[in-house]
Amino acid sequence: AKAFGESVAASSSAGELVAATTWGADMAVVKTWWRPSNGAWSPPAMLLPPGFHRSYDASAATLSDGSLAVVAGADLARRKYCLDGASVALMRRDTSGAVQLSIVDDQHGTGRIDDRPMIAAGSGGQVWVGWSQGTHAHSCDVIGGDDRIRIARSSDHGATFGPPIALPSAGIGPDFGVQIAPVGSGDAWVTWSALSSRG
């Protein structure tokens, strides 16, 4: 008995990629399926970096070199409904089908947590990943009470990322739900939601 959620997809001339969070009896993990052009769907592969025990909140994009990428949150799964060591993981599948797994933002062993990551790609190898980041004190909240938006940018098709930058807060409550729209020349528009305590 399994349930699926948070399904996303991306495609290029090389093939198609689908990802979804799967919930089993004692584990939630993002799984990905790959189908090369005119080929069959692969068995599922887990998006779960070494040292982490759960993944969630997948987002997918087609990169300018034809690679397909998925980001997800990954944590230690110490508590069923809370995040511990939550970080941002990235899986890239190049045009040959080869997979590279990396960490965009590692909060393993810190007092902070990452949540709700998303990925967007522009031209010339530009890739953006955004997420909300809060403190361990809010690790059991649906929306972390002190969450703020972070953005990291890559110029080499997601192989490496620069240091994340914190976006300015709207000042009315926690920030979450980041979306990124590349607009060319290395620029992107970023939007997000802010939860107001004023009702």
Query: What values do phi and psi take at 90, rounded to 5?
Result: -130, 130
Q: What is the pTM of this model?
A: 0.93
CB contact set of 93 (below 8 Å; sequence gap of 6+): 17, 32, 34, 67, 68, 69, 99
Give the confidence band of 3 by pLDDT, cuts at 50, 70, 90: confident
Read off φ and ψ for residue 138, nearest 5 degrees. -110, 20
Q: Decide if 159 contacts 128 (C-beta within 8 A).
A: no
The contacts of residue 180 (CB under 8 Å, 6+ apart) are 118, 119, 120, 128, 130, 151, 188, 189, 190
DSSP 142: S
Is residue 103 within 8 A of residue 160, CB to CB? The reply is no
133-160 pLDDT, tens per residue? 999 999 999 999 899 999 999 999 999 9
pLDDT single digits (tens) 153-199 = 999 999 999 999 999 887 777 999 999 999 988 899 999 998 876 55
Beta bridge partners of 85: none
